[in-house]
Amino acid sequence: MNMEVVWKQGMAFETHTPSGHTVTLDASEDVGGLDTGPRPTEMLLHATASCTGIDIVSILHKMRQPLESFEMKIDGVRAIDHPKRFTAIHILYILKGEMSEERVRRAIELSVERYCSVSHSLNATLSYSYQLNDGEVTPFELQQ
């Protein structure tokens, strides 16, 4: 995969993705940015959640599970000292629909164990939990 990243001004960089999209990333004003786009660290968390989300939607669709709504809450903990990397990331999957809990767990398991290239690229402890149809939040015991 090849990408082009071009410095625009201040701390802003514009990326041109292989899929033809353009994204501007920037820093906050207090560190010299102009706040014209998300921070790279925000995009890393976004990419992690979205990667597993895409997997889960695809797997549930193949399992013929009627997904009505799906959202994720992601929490990232960063080290205090530079490079201030993410040390822990937790994703809560909130799903609604007339789905088998077994199949929801299996979809999460497949994403976590096998398919999500973003989460497998990180040097952080990842943990997961899910909530199905406003039920209890259930920890997903598998951790990478």
Mean pLDDT score of the chain, rounded to an integer? 94
pTM, two decimals, is 0.91
Note the pLDDT of residue 62. 98
pLDDT tens, residue by residue, 67-100: 999 999 999 999 999 999 999 999 999 999 999 9
For 93-140, the DSSP string reads EEEEES--HHHHHHHHHHIIIII-HHHHT--SEEEEEEEETT---EEE
Q: How many residues does the chain have?
A: 144
74 and 129 in contact (C-beta within 8 Å)?
no
What pLDDT score does 142 carry? 63
Q: Which letter does DSSP use for residue 11 in this model?
A: T
**What per-residue confidence (pLDDT) applies to 141?**
73
Given a cut of 70, the residues of the chain with pLDDT beneath it are 142-144
Whether 28 contacts 34, CB under 8 Å: no
